[in-house]
Amino acid sequence: MKNERINVSRREFLIHTGLAGAGFALGMKLPLGSTAIAAEAGAETATPEINAWVVIAPDDTVTIRIARSEMGQGTLTGLAQLVAEELECDWSKVTTEYASPAQNLARDKVWGSFQTGGSRGIRTSHDYVRKGGAIAREMLIQAAANDWGVPTDECSAQKSVISHAPSGRTTTYGKVATAAAKLEPPFDVILKDPEDWTIAGKPLARLDTRDKVTGEQVYGADLALPGMLNAAIRTCPVFGGTVESFDAKAISKRPGVRKVVQVGDNAIAVVADTWWHAKSALDALPVKWNEGPNAKLSSAEITKMLDDGLVSNDDVFTGNEAGDAAKAIKGAAKTIEATYSYPYQAHACMEPMNATARWTRERCEVWCPTQNGETALQDTAKAAGLPAEQCEVHKLHLGGGFGRRAIHDYITQAVTIAKELPGTPVKLLWTREEDIQHDHYHPVTKCKLTGGLDDKGNLAGLHVRLSGHSIAAVRWPGMVQAFNGADPLAFQGFVEDDMLGGDHSIGYSFPSLKVEHAMRNPAVPPGPWRAVNAHQNAIYMECFIDELAHAAGRDPLEFRQVLMKKHPKNLAVLNAVADRVGWSKPAPAGIHRGLAVFKSFASYTAACAEVSVDDGRLKIQRIVAATDPGHAVNPQQIEAQIEGSIVYGLSALLYGEITVRNGRVEQGNFDTYPMLLIPEMPKVEVILMPSGDFWGGVGEPTTVIAAPAVLNAIYAATGKRIREVPLKNSGLKIT
Amino acid sequence: MLTTPIAGFPPATILRENHMAKLKVNGAIVDIKAEGDTPLLWALREQLGLTGSKYGCGIGQCGACTVLIKGEPVPSCMVTVDSVDANDDIVTIEGLSKDGSHPLQQAFTELDTPQCGYCIPGMIMSAAALLDSNPNPDDAAIDAGITNICRCGTYARVRKGIKRAAEIRQQEKA
């Protein structure tokens, strides 16, 4: 992290690997929070903060504290841009550091939310982080004005320089920072009009790129602490199964092995000097599992549960209802029905799950990648058996998150292991196989849609019956309780503005509509997965709308436009992609097009896919994607997120499938759970059209938009409707 | 707080005395103390502290651990320490340039290619080998030469980055 460079004496540590004698040593920056180090170094040597968000050193270096986690989505840079904009500081002198979860607890949650999910990083904190910057600016100006004995309203600040125009005097932030830190913060500040932004809203370079291209970026998996031991873990392969017995003696003489630890009731860890020693010893460890009640669970059985949910009235919840859809469909001139399905999928972050923990009776510290420092601290405390006040979580940049690292099973395990070796730091690193087989999966669902068309080809009524796994029922039971047993998130993209904060509202006005969810929860752990339920819901709605348009003999664009009349922002992104590809004119020979439009995480998105299908060989040629995220804090990073999220969505569409047999996941690594690779990556054209009067998400919304567009394009190419994900099972050859 | 003294760390790993190997890594001859069947990746990471080579799959599928051995891109998770000759040049991301100035590092920086960044060192090493064998790769050559997985989906900027690096390379040579 760039911030680790700013004060070498107390922030940068060199770990020598013990090979200095061989003339070979690697400098590694240890990502410790500044607060921890300041305390250790003696608080008097620490540069005082202006406020919780801003620390300014005498050399004018500005350190901006970031509470959300950087996992590739660029939130670190975007949030820093927002603070810096109001601070009026010199951007070239900005560095960042993570706010400390323990300090946050001690300081009455001064940094607000640490949660990094739901594409919320910027859209739910822009207000208070900008205020943090503005308040710091006012305090710095006040300090200069006090020094000069002039009124503050005669002073101004720009690029870290404070000027007093009447006298021509100037000073810098670094010179007045110590005095400013002692002032009372102003009660209120006025934020800049986004029209006047000079740092925010600009396509600035990320702050975290350099270390990522040199290999110097230290991820949790790379961490090396003095005296640290390494752990590898194996969890019972059957969901809900437990450890029956294991023979630690069988591996006790293997190189480097220090300890064999049962972790909770369902896992065994081997602790060794190196991870490779731990992992290879674990491979040789005889373990007997008690496979428990799910020993026979299979994908076929799960499919039966879902099929029941498509027709049964048990555990069915209504998420949206307008008019009498059943009656409208019954009286329709033409009725269309289709059933779609979407499988379990794994997150497969490139960096496997890991956490390093050091536990003593008095204190527990964890170093880890996490999407939520605050809950990571709570989970650390719980596993440590200590009050949270006696714990700390040191966050490291994530080698991918996608929702997986909002769930801290790996922290609980690391702390549990470290408790067996008091005072010794232990790094737990999962294998890829553990990662694929013990994920919290994208939920499995099916969806039956029934639509009625009148004699003019207009939609009279639509009935949507979702059936499948509820993430909330398993992970956030409080939410389900608040909705009388329903999972509101199951209805992402299908609800009106008064549900889910308006973030996931439907963009169509149907004459009549009923959307239901039959909750069916198999014994496979579900979890939030980049875009959560928007992914399958976008396919269900947008592919079925396409089916209805074709059944009505109407153009899929025109069919949507009519239903979308009352939703100008949805319509605008749809029209933008249609205009870009020239929808009204025929596609080039051999190219076939499909459309999709969807709102999720408060942003409006649309895509047009262009595909070719020759002799059963599918090639996704081009995706034109439009998004209206309201405000665009860093346009080039939004573009990167759109390109990347489309890859994530297309990987899922092409290959993503976790299946279950005998209670365990059948896939284990990238050979059986493949990903889209560079040759399959289509050309992506981004249309960024921020309309400026709201704050929408960026990391997730466009994840969902390519898949339905591609499916609709395949129909245009082949006349065959594919209603099951992934496409690897469709008979098409993916090229 | 971390109370262990900061200077003079003991090595993070406790080495066994009876397994020794010599490797030539980033131009230096180094002693490895590890069983001969230890994958090169783990020797690099745990014996030499060269953590730029990442563990992503352990089966040679994802490319995050790619290093150059005698100029060839190799998934270091699939190569054992004793299969590498002491004279074979091994280059890791840390040895690609002294200061992040390899044309690929320049190009990836210029284009802000990395997102989470975990796959990037391996991606750069694969691309470095590609550029060494083909100074001006077209799309088909990139498709054939780069099989690394990136879950953030940076492929578009990886492709651009390789082409941009080819330009930088030629400018530097001119």
Query: pLDDT tens digit string along A393-450?
Result: 999 999 999 999 999 999 999 999 999 999 999 999 999 999 999 999 999 999 999 9
> What tokens were used for A73?
């989505």
CA neighbours closer than 13 Å in the CB half-sphere of residue A702: 33
- The pLDDT of residue B18 is 52
| Chain A residues inside the 8 Å CB shell of B125 | none
The domain that contains B140 carries what CATH number?
1.10.150.120
Out of B39, B62, B95, a domain closes at B95
Contacts of A396 in chain B (CB under 8 A): none
Q: Which of B152, B159, B163 should be substituted to probe chain A, the one whose Cβ sees the most A Cβ atoms within 10 Å?
A: B152
CATH number of the domain that residue A538 is part of: 3.30.365.10
Last residue of a domain, one of A186, A214, A242: A214
Q: Judge contact between A55 and A49, C-beta under 8 A.
A: yes
Confidence of residue A113 (pLDDT cuts 50, 70, 90): very high
Give me the residue label for tokens 């420092």. Answer: A373
- Say whether both B30 and B89 belong to one domain: yes
Is residue A581 included in any domain, yes or no?
yes
Q: Is residue A436 part of a domain?
A: no
Residue B116: which of A39, A71, A429 has the nearest Cβ? A71
Angle between helices A635-654 and A706-718 (to 10 degrees): 50
How high is the pLDDT of residue A1?
33
Residues in chain B: 174
CB A8 within 8 A of CB A1: no
Say if A44 falls within a structural domain.
Answer: no
Residues of B in contact with A641 (CB under 8 A): 115
Same domain membership, residue A267 and residue A152: no
A-chain residue closest to B123, CA distance? A213
Taking the Cβ of residue A16 and every Cβ of chain B, the question of whether any pair is shorter than 8 Å is answered with yes
Inter-chain residue contact B2 with A73, CB threshold 8 Å: no
| Total number of residues shown for chain A | 735
Candidates A1, A275, A276, partner chain B, best to mutate (most B CBs within 10 A): A276
Quote the CA–CA distance of A106 and A176 in Å, as a whole number: 27
Does B151 contact A36 at a Cβ distance shorter than 8 Å? no
Report the DSSP beta bridge partners of residue B39. B80
Is A468:A492 a contact under the CB 8 Å cutoff? no
HSE of B19 in the Cβ direction (CA atoms, 13 Å)? 16
Under DSSP, is residue A187 helix (H, G, I), strand (E, B) or coil? coil
Distance from CA of A675 to the nearest CA of B (A): 7
B60: domain CATH number is: 3.10.20.30
A455 and A399 share a domain?
Answer: no
Structural tokens at position A620? 């996704």
Q: Which amino acid would we find at residue A175?
A: K
Domain extent at residue B65? 21-95
Query: Does residue A579 lie in a domain region?
Result: yes
In a domain, B158, yes or no: yes
Q: Is residue A516 part of a domain?
A: yes
Nearest-CA distance from A355 to chain B in Å? 15
Tell me how crowded residue B20 is: count the other CB atoms within 10 A of its CB: 12
Same domain, A237 and A334: no
Question: Which one of A18, A218, A432 has the shortest CB-CB distance to B11?
Answer: A18
Does B45 share its domain with B76?
yes
Q: Which two tokens stand for residue B99?
A: 């200061």
Is residue A649 within a helix (H) or strand (E), and if so which, with residue range?
A: helix A635-654
pLDDT score, position A7: 28
**Chain A, 225-264: which have a CB under 8 Å from a chain B CB?**
225-228, 230, 255-256
A101 and A154 both lie in a single domain: yes
Task: Return the structure tokens found at B92.
Answer: 């890791």
Give me the sign of the Cα torsion angle A356, A27, A69, A114.
positive
Strand B66-69 to B89-91 pairing: antiparallel
A140: nearest Cα among A88, A94, A190: A88
Cβ pair A255:B16 closer than 8 A: yes
* pLDDT for position B84: 95
Claim to verify: residue A278 and residue A167 sit in the same structural domain? no
Identify any residues that bridge with A259 across adjacent strands, giving them in sequence order. Answer: A271
Q: Quick check: is B2 in a domain?
A: no
The pLDDT value given to residue A56: 97
Confidence of residue A212 (pLDDT cuts 50, 70, 90): very high
CB atoms inside a 10 Å sphere around CB A672: 15
A677-690 average pLDDT score:
98
Residue B26 and residue B77 in one domain = yes
Are B115 and B70 in a shared domain? no
Residue B140 lies in a domain: yes
Overall number of domains in chain A = 3
Alpha-carbon distance A189 to A182, whole Å?
Answer: 18
For the beta carbon of residue B103, count every other beta carbon within 10 angstroms. 23
Kindly determine whether residue A670 and residue B62, on different chains, have CB atoms separated by under 8 Å.
Answer: yes
Alpha helices for A331-406 (secondary structure H) = 373-384
Give the amino acid at A106.
A
Domain limit, last residue, from B74, B95, B116: B95
Is residue B10 one of the residues assigned to a domain?
no
User: Which residue matches tokens 């490291």?
Assistant: A396
- Chain B contact for A113, CB < 8 A? no
Picking from A17, A401, A678, the nearest residue to B48 by CB comes out as A17
Q: What is the DSSP letter of A182?
A: T
- Taking the CB of residue B138, how many other CB atoms lie within 10 A of it? 10
CA distance A27 to chain B (A): 9
Residue B58 has, within 13 A of its CA and on its CB side, a CA count of: 17
In a domain, B1, yes or no: no
Give per-residue pLDDT as tens, A611-624. Answer: 999 999 999 999 99
Minimal CA separation from B164 to chain A, in Å? 15
Q: What is the pLDDT of residues A377-387, one digit of tens each?
A: 999 999 999 99
Residue B11 lies in a domain: no
Q: Could you give the CA distance from residue A121 to residue B106 in angstroms, rounded to a whole number?
A: 29
Identity (one letter) of the amino acid at A565? Answer: K
Where residue A48 falls among pLDDT bands split at 50, 70, 90?
A: confident
Handedness of CA B29, B34, B38, B41 (dihedral sign): negative
* Closest chain A C-alpha to B154 CA, distance in angstroms: 6
Test mutation, B3, B26, B51, chain A, max A CBs within 10 A? B51
Question: How many other CB atoms are there within 10 angstroms of residue A193's CB atom?
Answer: 7
- The answer on A620 and A522 residing in a single domain is yes
Of A32, A39, A209, the CB nearest to B109: A209
3-class secondary-structure state, position A232: strand
* A464 and A337 both lie in a single domain: yes
Nearest chain A residue to B139 by CA distance is A679
Rounded Cα–Cα distance for residues A712 and A734 (Å): 16
Instruction: Please indicate, yes or no, whether residues A309 and A284 belong to a single structural domain of this protein.
Output: no
| Alpha-carbon distance values, B159 to A642, B87, B101, B107, B132 (Å) | 16, 33, 19, 11, 16
> Which tens digits make up the pLDDT trace of B22-39?
999 999 999 998 999 999
Residue A33 has pLDDT above 60, yes or no: no
User: Taking CB atoms and an 8 Å limit, are B153 and A648 in contact across chains?
Assistant: yes
**Interchain CB distance below 8 Å, B2 and A398:** no
Residues A483, A597, single domain; the answer is: yes
pLDDT band at A47 (very low <50, low <70, confident <90, very high): confident
A477 has which bridge partners?
A: none
**What are the pLDDT digits (tens) for B56-112?**
999 999 999 999 999 999 999 999 999 999 999 999 999 999 999 999 999 999 999
Output the pLDDT for position B17.
45
Pick from A215, A671, A678: CB nearest B93:
A215
Q: Which residues of A touch B105 (CB under 8 A)?
A: 213-214
Number of other residues whose CB lies within 10 A of the CB of residue A455:
9
* Cross-chain residue pair A648–B151, CB shorter than 8 Å: yes
Mean pLDDT for A301-306 is: 98
Interchain pair A13, B6: CB under 8 A: yes
Same domain, B110 and B164: yes
* DSSP annotation string for A397-455: --S--TTGGGS-HHHHHHHHHHTTSTT--EEEE--HHHHHHT--BBPPEEEEEEEEE-T
The partner residue sitting opposite B116, judged by closest CB among A19, A216, A398, is: A398
pLDDT for residue A37 is more than 70: no
* Residue A451: pLDDT over 80: yes
Answer for the pair A515, A325: CB distance below 8 angstroms, yes or no.
no
Least Cα distance to A83 among A156, A137, A147 occurs for A137
Question: Strands, DSSP E only, in A615-676?
Answer: 617-628, 660-661, 664-665
Same domain, B70 and B131: no
The C-alpha atoms of residue A273 and residue A252 are separated, in whole angstroms, by 13
B142 lies in some domain: yes
Partners of A580 in the β-ladder: none
Return the minimum-mean-pLDDT range out of A31-35, A110-114, A263-267, B106-110.
Answer: A31-35
On whether residue A187 sits in a domain, the answer given is yes
Closest partner CB to A400 (pick from B97, B105, B151): B151
End position of a domain, from candidates A382, A401, A429? A429
Instruction: Specify whether B25 is located in the same domain as B89.
Output: yes
Q: Which pLDDT does position B19 carry in this prediction?
A: 66
Return the HEC string of A50-80. EECCEEECCCCCEEEEECCCCCCCCHHHHHH
Looking at the 3D structure of chain B, how many domains does it have?
2
Closest-approach residue (CA) in chain B for A646: B153
- Confidence class of residue B11 from pLDDT cuts 50, 70 and 90? very low
Strand locations in chain B, DSSP E?
21-25, 28-32, 66-69, 72-75, 89-91
Contact across the interface for B42 and A275, Cβ inside 8 Å:
yes
Q: Which residues 629-648 in chain A show a CB within 8 A of chain B?
A: 636-637, 640-641, 643-648
Q: Do A255 and A338 share a domain, yes or no?
A: no
Burial class (CB in 10 A: 0-12, 13-18, 19+), A446: buried
| Percentage of chain A lying above the pLDDT 90 cut | 93
Pick the closest to residue A493 from A543, A439, A547 (CA basis): A543
- Contact check, Cβ <8 Å, B119/A646: no
The predicted-structure confidence for A134-177, as pLDDT tens digits, reads as follows: 999 999 999 999 999 999 999 999 999 999 999 999 999 999 99
In chain A, pLDDT over 70 holds for what percent of residues? 94
Domain boundary residue among A379, A397, A429? A429
Give the ipTM.
Answer: 0.93
- Contact check, Cβ <8 Å, B11/A17: yes
pLDDT for position A717: 98
In a domain, A106, yes or no: yes
The nearest CA of chain B is from the CA of A198 a distance in Å of: 20
Alpha carbon dihedral A155, A158, A162, A166, in 10-degree steps, equals: -40
CA distance A519 to A479: 14
End residue of a domain, out of B65, B95, B125: B95
Q: From the list A26, A217, A670, which residue is nearest B57 (CB)? A: A670
Which residue range is the domain that position A233 belongs to? 220-292+353-429
A36 pLDDT more than 90: no
Question: A710 near A326, Cβ under 8 Å?
Answer: no
Q: What is the pLDDT of residue B6?
A: 29
| A699 near B CB under 8 A | no
Is residue A41 over pLDDT 60?
Answer: no
Task: Tell me if B13 and A32 make a contact (CB, 8 A cut-off).
Answer: no
In a domain, B7, yes or no: no
**How high is the pLDDT of residue B20?**
80
Interatomic CA distance for residues A689 and A577, integer angstroms: 11
Please report which confidence band the pLDDT of residue A223 belongs to, taking 50, 70 and 90 as the band edges.
very high
Q: Are residues A380 and A516 in the same domain?
A: no
Do A465 and A520 lie in a common domain?
A: yes
Query: Can you give the pLDDT at residue A474?
Result: 95
Are B59 and B51 spatial neighbours (Cβ–Cβ below 8 Å)?
no
**What pLDDT is attached to residue A46?**
60
